[in-house]
């Protein structure tokens, strides 16, 4: 599906003057509509558990329709700039639509698209700069958005897991949540004068990620916690007690050795059964 949609994009880009804009957008809309008409007619009834597709290619059609839906939006913006002033609302509508499709047809790939679109909506809406101004990150404090979004996403995922609603989606929520949270917190630690508060926040996130890794036997979540904790600890030591080059050398030697031991010891123990 990725190869097909990529090929469509290249074909449009290379022949945009010959094919005609109306023909291209019309063809994309027709294929997108055909995909969703098929999946809504042939798809199984909704269930809170795992819902297998009726055919082996059903999930691929769902993914194709979703990717082409993004292509249609991108083409309309690129060629006609119809979404420039309402890009945030358009992104939010896309995110909500993808959440609906992901839950209706039990598709983790589309859920990832939905979470990504929702993250894009918050970054666009909360930034004081226009997305096309060229100074998108200036003074926008997007790390605060990332921290809040990551924590909220984890809370939503755990709430749905507690309610037994698509529990196999929980790991996807936690994966995006921990990555976003740690990225925002680490960026804030480097950029903010009150770095110690964000160091503590990172350590709290590491404790949460470690607990979830133990609960779900996920080595990936454990690896996130280890790397984020290592970065925060190294920065804290650099700002406080580590100053001599020899001490730095010994620190990196022992920490690299500890990382190798960590990989060897926990890789099999936390490997996901899925």
Q: What is the pLDDT of residues 197-218, one digit of tens each?
A: 999 999 999 999 999 998 888 8
Q: What is the mean pLDDT of residues 169-181?
A: 95
If asked whether residues 120 and 70 sit together in one domain, one would say yes
Q: Provide the domain limits for residue 107.
A: 1-124
Cα–Cα dist 26/59, whole Å: 24
Tokens 């609906």 correspond to what residue? 100
Count of domains forming the chain:
2
Q: Does 130 reside within a domain?
A: no
Q: Does 129 reside within a domain?
A: no
Higher-confidence residue of 129 and 263: namely 263
Check residue 239 and give its pLDDT: 81
If asked whether residues 18 and 99 sit together in one domain, one would say yes
Q: Does 32 reside within a domain?
A: yes
Cα–Cα dist 81/108, whole Å: 31
Q: Which helix (H) or strand (E) holds 212?
A: helix 195-216
Predicted confidence (pLDDT) at residue 78 exceeds the cutoff of 50: yes
If asked whether residues 199 and 118 sit together in one domain, one would say no
HSE of 103, CA atoms in CB hemisphere, 13 A:
13
If asked whether residues 145 and 112 sit together in one domain, one would say no
The model scores a pTM over 0.95: no
Max CA distance (Å), the chain: 69
If asked whether residues 75 and 155 sit together in one domain, one would say no
If asked whether residues 211 and 241 sit together in one domain, one would say yes
Higher-confidence residue of 131 and 103: namely 103
């Amino acid at each position: 599906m990725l190869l097909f949609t990529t090929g469509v994009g290249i074909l449009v880009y290379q022949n945009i003057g010959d094919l005609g804009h109306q023909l291209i957008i019309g063809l994309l809309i027709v294929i997108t509509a055909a995909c969703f008409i098929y999946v809504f007619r042939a798809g199984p009834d909704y269930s809170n558990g795992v819902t297998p597709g009726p055919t082996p290619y059903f999930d691929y059609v769902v993914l194709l329709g979703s990717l082409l839906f993004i292509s249609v939006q991108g083409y309309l913006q690129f060629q006609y700039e119809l979404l420039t002033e309402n890009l945030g609302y358009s992104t939010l509508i896309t995110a909500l639509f993808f959440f609906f499709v992901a839950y209706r047809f039990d598709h983790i790939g589309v859920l990832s698209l939905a979470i990504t679109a929702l993250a894009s909506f918050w970054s666009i809406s909360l930034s004081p700069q226009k997305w096309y101004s060229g100074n998108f990150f200036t003074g926008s404090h997007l790390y605060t958005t990332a921290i809040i979004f990551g924590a909220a996403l984890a809370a939503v995922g755990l709430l749905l897991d507690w309610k037994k609603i698509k529990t196999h989606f929980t790991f996807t929520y936690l994966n995006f949540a921990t990555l976003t949270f740690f990225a925002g917190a680490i960026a804030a630690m480097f950029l903010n004068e009150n770095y110690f508060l964000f160091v503590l926040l990172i350590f709290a996130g590491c404790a949460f990620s470690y607990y979830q890794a133990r609960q779900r036997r996920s080595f990936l979540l454990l690896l996130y916690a280890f790397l984020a904790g290592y970065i925060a600890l190294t920065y804290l030591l650099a700002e406080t007690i580590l100053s001599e080059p020899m001490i730095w050398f010994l620190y990196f030697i022992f920490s690299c050795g500890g990382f190798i031991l960590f990989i060897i010891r926990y890789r099999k123990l936390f490997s996901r059964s899925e």
